[in-house]
Amino acid sequence: MSESGVGGAGRENRRLALLALIAAFGFIFISRGIADSWMVFLLPVEQDFGATRQQTAGVYSTYMLTTGVSAPLAGLILRQFGARVNYALGVLLIGCALFLAARSTAMVEFYLYIGILASMGISAIGIVPASALIGRWYRHRMSVAMGVAYSGLGMGSLLVVPLAQWWIEWQGWRSTYMAMGWCVAVLLVVTMALPWHRLAGAASLPGQPSGRGGDPAGGGLTLRQALRRPEFLGLALSFTFTGFSMYMVIVQVVPFLVESGYAPLKAATAFGLAGMLSVGGVISTGWLSHRFGLRPIALLSFACTFLGIFCLLSLSYFRFEWLLACFVGIFGIAQGAPGPIVATLSNRLFTGASAPAIYGVIYACSNIGAGIGAWGAGYLHDASASYRPALLVAAAGIVVAALPFLLQHAFRAPVAIRPASPSNPEMS
């Protein structure tokens, strides 16, 4: 091939890599925005149906658990049928769920449409397929790319949720669901038009190893083989306790601050500021991980989360404004930071066709842990009439989440794990 041909191919690969990153960010942005929008639908739905807070909150709990269970399924669909089918199916499910929710006549329908149908679609266009898509293009700077993609979580919540609230106040919740459904219908057309056969190719940027982990044959462990690996168990354990601890805190921040004497608006503002800081924190995590390594930055993020929880716990004893500021700043920046690190580690350790399904199971552990943590926080508060036990358990959970990064040597310099072979018996 001529030099001009090589240069043209390099420019084309850069354009496709950028498009893949934009697509991953965009779909994550939409999925998180739609998921978190239930927070502003909750009160008007309660009023219209005469539901209890436990019933409406249960819809979100169902969403979290269903997302966790369906995340591995999204990885399998991506592997078997390709990115076009996976993403189009996810967008279709979300659109149908929104249109159906707009016509709901009983609370149980929200559990079916938002808690189950929409969550399955959100899994299909969320973090799991994004990690596989980015992993095909950004082998050398994967942590940076994953940080950018993960920032879509915070941006989606920050922009879509207030817009949904404004529309509800203007036209009502049913009209808002219809409007969101039509927006998703337009997204389905865009999804079908994207060049998925090229975005999901095995190319990489110039100067980076080609293929997945430098294995053009696409070799790697199967899901069943990965389940027996200590590296997989370490990532799953870390992500489970990260989700568990984070949601023990997140679901209680606003009521904790209000009951501590802060005005509801100030409490909500503090929570929103922490979410805003998480966007910059996630992006910075990707860049810092590329520069200093995944393991030290992961341990730093866990230390910041632990310190943030300690500040919130101290606030239950001493109402100092600087403690609230420290919680918002430290906890907010660290919020979501382990996400791109774990995704990058999974892509580097587990290559090949089963990589999306393997990460799907790891990601599912985070959602299941989050569901248990959210429920556990409420249980401990009701049993003790205090927020302190839940905060102490959350702090202990963060310590457990950090242990795999302290103890497993593979996380220090991750390389692709090869399947067992006669010449490589130790991998069996």
pLDDT, one tens digit per residue, over 203-229 is: 444 444 444 444 434 557 888 888 889
Least confident of 283-297, 329-343, 392-406, 410-424: 410-424
Alpha-carbon distance of 384 to 327, in angstroms, equals: 23
Which residues neighbour 427 within 8 Å (Cβ) at sequence distance 6 or greater?
A: 417, 418, 419, 420, 421
CA nearest neighbour of 244 among 120, 72, 395, 28: 395
pLDDT band of 3, cuts 50, 70, 90: very low
Report how far residue 221's alpha carbon sits from residue 226's, in angstroms, rounded to the nearest whole number: 6
pLDDT attached to residue 13: 80
Say which range, 173-187, 265-279, 286-300, 327-341, has the weakest mean pLDDT. 265-279
Q: What is the pLDDT of residue 237?
A: 95
Residue 72 has pLDDT above 60, yes or no: yes
Task: Report how far residue 139's alpha carbon sits from residue 128's, in angstroms, rounded to the nearest whole number.
Answer: 16
Average pLDDT score over the chain: 82
pLDDT at 7 over 60: no
Percent above pLDDT 70 for the chain? 90
Global pTM value: 0.73
Instruction: Kindly tell me if the per-residue pLDDT of 403 is higher than 90.
Output: yes
- Cβ-contact 304, 282 below 8 angstroms: no
pLDDT band at 264 (very low <50, low <70, confident <90, very high): low
pLDDT value of residue 26:
92
The top-scoring range by mean pLDDT among 244-258, 286-300, 397-411 is 397-411
Sign of CA dihedral 397, 417, 360, 280: positive
pLDDT tens column, 107-127: 999 999 999 999 999 999 988
Q: What is the pLDDT of residues 284-327, one digit of tens each?
A: 887 888 788 889 999 999 999 999 999 999 998 988 889 999 99
Residue 404 has pLDDT above 90, yes or no: yes
Q: What is the pLDDT of residue 38?
A: 80
Task: Tell me if 248 sits within 8 A of 369, measured CB to CB.
Answer: no
pLDDT attached to residue 6: 45
Tell me what pLDDT residue 73 has: 84
219-416 shares the fold of 7-200: yes
Mean pLDDT of 260-266: 76
Q: Which of 94-103, 134-143, 230-239 has the lowest mean pLDDT?
A: 134-143
Q: What does the alpha-carbon distance between residue 393 and residue 241 come to, in Å, rounded to a whole number?
A: 11
Quick one: pLDDT at residue 201? 63
The least confident of 156-170, 175-189, 195-209, 351-365 is 195-209
Percent of all residues in the chain with a pLDDT value above 90, rounded to a whole number: 30
Q: Tokens for 20, please give them.
A: 């893949």
pLDDT at residue 42 above 80?
no
What residues contact 173, with CB distance under 8 A and at least 6 apart?
Answer: 41, 44, 45, 48
- Range among 7-11, 337-341, 386-390 with highest mean pLDDT value: 386-390
Architecture of the 7-200 domain:
Up-down Bundle (1.20)
Domain boundaries along the sequence of the chain:
7-200, 219-416
Structure tokens at 425: 């018996």
Please count the residues of the chain. Answer: 428
Lowest pLDDT segment from 99-103, 211-215, 383-387, 408-412 = 211-215
241/153: higher pLDDT: 241
Mean pLDDT of 226-241: 92
| pLDDT at residue 103 greater than cutoff 90 | yes
Residue 53 predicted with pLDDT over 70: no
Q: What is the CATH number of domain 219-416?
A: 1.20.1250.20
- For residue 330, the model assigns a pLDDT of 92
Q: Contact at 8 Å (CB) between 226 and 362?
A: no
